[in-house]
């Protein structure tokens, strides 16, 4: 089997959709020798900020000398991004071997119960992390939490970043219902840490924590400044400077710090190592600022839901146009500036969104910031129509130049003279842009592995 053949096999598993529930994953893990029993986990759920929080936790614990596993989704370019050890992508040879080892197990499942793509990848990750003797695995949920394949583990701590409306067709149409699904990762007696702020969502999390006798820590906006940050001062007295852009990352960092503090007796980490971990964290595609050879600035951000679009809008509204870059990355001293008019900022947007997202509200949130908007289809069978995106953008920004294009490649050819370009709306689009800029090459188109089908009924009715 070649790597391309292994990827093609995984691609074929999409036909089995996403049958939510844990029975298949438990059975598949048992056939694989229950590798999760040989590992320690921090389990991370939530609507936005999961990936950034996972990246911070991984960076901190790796800086402390632990051998870390990182399991996240979706991937931006390569499937191998999903499974990393010490931030090294799983080797192609390991993907080939693990797929080959998993295939005979499928014969143990009756017709109609074939493991899905995410179930198979979850157990592949568990096998690989156990083989690699990881000291700690940072374990991100896929969709929801309660019936997500990742929920077969019992972690050292659980994390719920926040709660917002998303995937309502599967998770439920209210914050309470979505919170119940996310809070399904809470285990008896296992600490749970959250930065959720919405009262109705927080009430659900608090109720479930009480029922499970799980110690609950709530991290609020004030915690993003103190005292957590002060505890991470180095010997020089300086606080860490996050390389990840956006004020919201300070709250994600405070959340990560609260997790580390909660687990100090189990996994001690010094302030110096926390400082080093935060200052060196990397998480591409989320407010990632790059500079092209001609001096043009490109901001890549996978603002794929309304809450994410609001975070992007807040960041763009507060930043100065005086960015200092070196070697394609933002240097540390980016300072917020007083908001200026959108015309003064001269932002150009390339916008592509998936049809099953709340794309109308995403357009309404972002379009007023731009003087020029190029809408494009996402490289996905679920893409929203670029012309429909353009039409909505025009309703909220009648002064901008707004044109729909047939592809990202075509749009990129139209913005070579624009000073500051924001590529956003979908992580799929960000992944395609990274490839186009030569920043994350892939040997084949693996983004299609992010496509999946799901059961039509909400999770709450699937038991």
HSE at residue 159, side-chain half, CA atoms within 13 A, is 33
> 113 with 130, same domain?
yes
Q: What pLDDT, on a 0 to 100 scale, did the predictor assign at position 270?
A: 95
Query: 349-376 in b/e burial notation, b at 16+ Cβ within 10 A?
Result: bbbbbbeebbbbebbbbbbebbbbbbbb
For residue 461, being part of any structural domain is answered with: no
Q: What pLDDT, on a 0 to 100 scale, did the predictor assign at position 144?
A: 81
> 306 with 356, same domain?
yes
Q: What pLDDT, on a 0 to 100 scale, did the predictor assign at position 336?
A: 33
Q: Is 296 left (phi over 0), alpha (psi -120 to 50) or beta?
A: beta
Q: What pLDDT, on a 0 to 100 scale, did the predictor assign at position 334?
A: 31
> 363 with 263, same domain?
no
Rounded to whole angstroms, the Cα distance separating 59 from 68 reads: 9
Mean pLDDT by 10 residues, the chain (463 residues): 92 72 94 98 94 96 98 92 97 97 94 90 98 98 89 98 70 82 96 94 95 94 48 57 83 94 96 94 89 88 87 79 38 34 68 91 94 93 93 95 96 93 92 84 66 44 36
CATH number at residue 323: 3.90.190.20
Q: What pLDDT, on a 0 to 100 scale, did the predictor assign at position 319?
A: 63
For residue 184, being part of any structural domain is answered with: yes
User: Are 343 and 354 spatial neighbours (Cβ–Cβ below 8 Å)?
Assistant: no
- Give the list of residues 6+ apart from residue 41 with CB closer than 8 angstroms, or none: 136, 137, 138, 139, 153, 154, 155, 156
Beta bridge partners of 157: 42
DSSP 338-354: ----HHHHTEEEEE--B
> 206 with 186, same domain?
yes
Residue 166 has what DSSP assignment?
-
For residue 103, being part of any structural domain is answered with: yes
Q: What pLDDT, on a 0 to 100 scale, did the predictor assign at position 173?
A: 64
- Give the list of residues 6+ apart from residue 82 with CB closer than 8 angstroms, or none: 71, 72, 73, 74, 75, 90, 121, 125
Domain count across the chain? 2
Q: What pLDDT, on a 0 to 100 scale, did the predictor assign at position 59?
A: 98
For residue 453, being part of any structural domain is answered with: no
């Amino acid at each position: 089997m070649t790597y391309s053949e292994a990827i093609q096999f995984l691609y074929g598993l999409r036909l089995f959709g996403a049958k939510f529930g844990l029975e298949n994953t438990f059975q598949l893990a048992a056939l694989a020798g229950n590798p999760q029993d040989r590992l320690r986990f921090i389990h991370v759920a939530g609507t936005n900020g999961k990936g950034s929080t996972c990246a911070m936790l991984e960076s901190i614990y790796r800086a402390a000398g632990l051998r870390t596993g990182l399991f996240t989704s979706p991937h931006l370019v390569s499937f191998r991004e999903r499974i990393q050890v010490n931030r090294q992508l799983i080797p192609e040879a390991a993907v080939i071997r693990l797929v080959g080892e998993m295939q005979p197990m499928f014969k143990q499942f009756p017709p109609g119960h074939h493991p899905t793509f995410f179930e198979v990848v979850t157990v592949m990750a568990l096998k690989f992390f156990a083989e690699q003797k990881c000291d700690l695995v940072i374990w991100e949920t896929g969709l929801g939490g309660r019936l997500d394949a990742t929920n077969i583990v019992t972690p050292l701590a659980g994390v719920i970043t926040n709660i917002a409306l998303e995937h309502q067709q599967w998770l439920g149409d209210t914050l309470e219902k979505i919170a119940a699904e996310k809070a399904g990762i809470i285990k008896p007696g296992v600490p749970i840490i959250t930065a959720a702020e919405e009262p109705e969502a927080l009430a659900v999390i608090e109720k479930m924590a009480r029922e499970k006798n799980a110690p609950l820590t709530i991290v609020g906006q004030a915690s993003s400044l103190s005292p957590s940050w002060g505890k991470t001062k180095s010997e020089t007295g300086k606080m860490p400077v996050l390389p990840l852009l956006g004020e919201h990352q300070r709250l994600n960092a405070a959340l990560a710090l609260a997790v580390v503090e909660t687990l100090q007796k189990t996994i001690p980490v010094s302030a110096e190592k926390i400082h080093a971990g935060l200052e060196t964290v990397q998480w591409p595609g989320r407010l990632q600022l790059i500079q092209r050879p001609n001096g043009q600035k490109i901001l890549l951000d996978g603002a794929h839901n309304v809450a994410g679009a609001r975070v992007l809008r807040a960041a763009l509204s507060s930043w100065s146009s005086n960015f200092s870059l070196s070697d394609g990355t933002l240097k540390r001293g980016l300072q917020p500036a007083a908001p200026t008019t959108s015309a003064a900022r001269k932002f150009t947007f390339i916008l592509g969104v998936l049809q099953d997202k709340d794309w109308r509200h995403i357009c309404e949130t972002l379009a007023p910031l731009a003087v020029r908007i190029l809408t494009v289809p996402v490289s996905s069978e679920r893409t929203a129509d670029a012309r429909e995106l353009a039409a909505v953008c025009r309703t909220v920004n009648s002064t901008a130049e707004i044109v729909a294009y047939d592809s990202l490649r075509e749009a990129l050819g139209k913005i070579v003279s624009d000073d500051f370009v924001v590529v956003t709306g979908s992580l799929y689009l960000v992944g395609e842009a990274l490839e186009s800029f030569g920043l994350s090459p892939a040997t084949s188109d693996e983004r299609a592995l992010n496509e999946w089908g799901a059961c039509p009924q909400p999770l709450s009715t699937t038991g």
